[in-house]
Chain A
């Protein structure tokens, strides 16, 4: 790209330069010769008029007689020799021929420029004025010197032009390099990005249009990088999900297989059949719960809830009824404050959400000391449901992660409390499907508060 531009520009430059030089020297040459011709013509005229006068004087001195014609011719010869001697100093040969004597066909009067091996000459031939028109004057000017001088000037010019072209070539190359440098950087950077180094950026130095290109390019690169990171995160999340899922399946399966194997092969004591099959059924139930939760999660993806007006009081009563056994057993206090009447949503989903939050709260509470508050409030049309407990709380670093599937605050805490770590994931999905936001935060004092904030008109 850069090389092509360089060659094209340079060739164009050379063509323009040399053709103008050529045209210039052609005209220079011609005008020089014309000038010399003009000069010579002027000189010739001077010589002719001077000769005219002198020849007339000579003729007068001879008395104009025919008898002395020969003497007159000799006198003219002598005169012309004097002229020739004088003009030879100016590189001019002058000769006069007598047509009457030579008898040859009189040549045309003419002016011509001759260049040959011997040099460059201007020839002028003309007759003297009448009555001496039979004298023909030959003027022969040697202009080799001025032509050679001109040629040498032309050569000097040519050499300096060539030198100038070389300098121009270097200059052009440097200019092009500096123009193309940003493009080279863009090319290099895009190659790096193409090969997977998504963090690569173009340094922005000036405010030129190329800087704008660089800014746009960087924006594009940033966008790509963000997408790639998102994809990687997504893949990682999926992998994490699969790993966690495998782990969640394996532990109960180990129990189920092991207990069944034991029942088959060992000598069982009284009542052991009941105990062992109870364990197997319990673990199978746990797997069933995971399957249900996963199905529900799958169902909730891109799900639009069938929204209806729900009586909040009714919803709260339902939940209280469902968890009554558990809270009575654990000696936990459950306080409901439905400060709003109506909530828009799909009842079974919202019930499942609130129930999950309540069950989590119950698990978090210390028996006989726990207090759980279930509230609903309406602030300028924004309905908020909240479940607050005074239990052991969630560590700060886990607050954002608890909604990830299979996430457990205590990594090693196995399913003693019955959960696979899908409850809050499900709650989050249900909230999301309702266009609501789920916020999990430490409650004032101790415990955890989970708020579901329904958007305006949600």
Chain B
């Protein structure tokens, strides 16, 4: 997955983002101040920088001006349009307003990484290998035949690995907002994925919630 720098002065939020990045398999570094962020960006290579605007020392905009190469997502408590435009015109790739849901942050990270072509294209677990760029799945080298909807569901699970997703959330992410299906449909598709990929022990049913693709690290 990707190597991400988290620049956020609120320790709780910084740690929270770190925990979530870790869940889906990203690696990260954390910093709580602007000057240090500039130093880390110039001395290391990151696939993405999550940048808070209000920072001690120098603010997020200043940090952005001093760096250039990496994709940037602004994290901001100010939802004023002015700030958004300022952020985007300075070359940020996206912004997210506090408070945000972790799934939303992860989704945005995924979009920005894909746009920058820095996302992982191969995911392998046990005998199954999923090629995310040409949408093919093999188990033990044998190509597995998945319906488009099954593939969508698989991708959602991989992108949100180690995170429990409710049936409603899965419907929304894999089928789309306007799909009026029943949660029973999700159960059927999960069953098929489990048997086709041999992931009976990997896709766990989470009591009262939904499903989680568990990847031990």
* In the complex, B16 has a CB within 8 A of chain A: yes
A253 within 8 A of B: yes
Which among A253, A258, A264, A416 has the highest number of chain B CB atoms within 10 Å? Answer: A258
Give every chain B residue within 8 A of A411 (Cβ-Cβ): 54
Q: Cβ of B43 < 8 Å from any Cβ of A? A: no
Q: Check if B19 sits within 8 Å of A262, measured CB to CB.
A: yes
Chain A residues positioned under 8 Å from B212 (CB to CB): 265, 267
Interface string of A406-419 (1 = CB under 8 A from B): 00001111111000
Q: Are A265 and B165 in contact (CB under 8 A)?
A: yes
- A250 on interface, CB distance cutoff 8 Å: yes
Asked if A91 is at the interface of the complex by the 8 Å CB criterion, the answer is no
Tell me if A's interface is mostly helix, strand, loop or mixed: helix
Residues A254 and B13 in contact, CB atoms below 8 Å apart: yes
A13 on interface, CB distance cutoff 8 Å: no
Interface flags, A223-254, vs B, CB<8A=1, else 0? 00000000000000000000000010011111
Q: Which of B29-85 contact A (CB under 8 A)?
A: 54-57, 59, 77-78
CB-based contact B214/A251 at 8 Å = no
Judge whether B56 and A410 touch: CB under 8 Å.
yes
Are B12 and A255 touching (Cβ within 8 A)? yes
A394 to B23, CA, bound (A): 42
A254 contacts B98, C-beta separation under 8 Å: yes
Q: Quick check: is A283 within 8 A (CB to CB) of the other chain? A: yes
Interface check B141, CB cutoff 8 A: no
The answer to whether the Cβ of A173 comes within 8 Å of any Cβ in the partner chain is no
Residue B54 contacts which of A253, A255, A412 (CB distance < 8 angstroms)?
A: A412
Task: Give chain A nearest CB distance to B90 CB in angstroms.
Answer: 18
CB-based contact A259/B163 at 8 Å: no
Question: Which listed segment binds A: B99-107, B108-116, B147-155, B194-202?
Answer: B99-107
Cβ distance A439 to chain B, nearest Cβ, rounded Å: 28
Provided the pairs A255-B10, A255-B16 are in contact, do residues A250 and B56 lie with their beta carbons within 8 angstroms?
Answer: no
What residues make up the interface of A, taking CB atoms closer than 8 Å to B?
247, 250-255, 257-259, 261-262, 264-267, 279, 283, 410-416
A262 touches which of B10, B20, B209 (Cβ 8 Å) = B20
- B contacts, CB < 8 Å to A: 9-13, 16, 19-20, 23, 54-57, 59, 77-78, 98-102, 162-165, 206, 209, 212, 214
A250-B99, A266-B162, A266-B164 given as contacts; is B11 within 8 A of A416 (CB)?
A: yes
Shortest CB distance A413–B (Å): 6
8 Å CB contact of A264 from B13, B57, B164: B164
Residues of A within 8 A of B9 (CB): 412-414
* Nearest CB of chain A from residue B87's CB, rounded to whole Å: 16
- Nearest A residue (CB) for B75: A254
Task: Give 30 CB contacts A-B under 8 Å.
Answer: A250-B77, A250-B98, A251-B10, A251-B13, A251-B98, A254-B16, A254-B100, A255-B13, A257-B99, A257-B101, A258-B20, A258-B99, A259-B16, A261-B102, A262-B20, A264-B209, A265-B165, A266-B20, A266-B163, A267-B214, A279-B12, A412-B54, A412-B55, A412-B57, A412-B59, A414-B9, A414-B10, A414-B11, A415-B10, A416-B11
State whether A412 and B56 are in contact (beta carbons under 8 Å apart), knowing that A264-B164, A265-B163, A266-B19 are contacts in the complex.
Answer: yes
Residue among A251, A257, A414, A416 with the highest chain B CB neighbour number at 10 A: A414
Per the bound structure, the CA–CA distance linking A413 and B32 in Å amounts to 10
- Does B101 contact A261, Cβ atoms closer than 8 Å? yes
Tell me whether B209 and A265 are in contact (CB under 8 A).
yes
* Chain A residues with CB under 8 A of B57: 412
Contacts of B16 in A (CB 8 A): 254-255, 258-259, 262
Residue in A closest to B20 when the chains form the complex, CB atoms: A262
Beyond the given pairs A264-B209, A266-B20, A413-B56, 19 more chain A to chain B contacts, judged by CB atoms under 8 angstroms and listed by A's residue number, are A250-B98, A251-B10, A251-B77, A252-B12, A255-B10, A255-B16, A258-B13, A258-B99, A261-B102, A264-B164, A265-B165, A266-B19, A266-B162, A266-B164, A267-B212, A283-B12, A411-B54, A412-B55, A414-B10
Complex CA–CA separation, A140 to B23 (angstroms): 142
Q: How far is the CA of A144 from the CA of B178 in the complex (A)?
A: 117
Nearest-CB distance from A287 to chain B (Å)?
13
Residues of B within 8 A of A264 (CB): 164, 209
A283: chain B residues at CB < 8 Å are 12
CB-CB < 8 A to B78: which residues of A? 247
Shortest beta-carbon distance from A243 to chain B in Å: 8
Tell me how far the C-beta of B98 lies from the nearest C-beta in chain A, rounded to whole angstroms: 5
Kindly list the 10 A-B residue pairs having the minimum CB-CB distance in the complex, ordered from nearest.
A254-B99, A255-B12, A265-B164, A258-B16, A412-B54, A412-B56, A414-B10, A265-B163, A254-B98, A412-B55
Q: How far is the CA of A264 from the CA of B206 in the complex (A)?
A: 10
Q: How far is the CA of A453 from the CA of B76 in the complex (A)?
A: 42
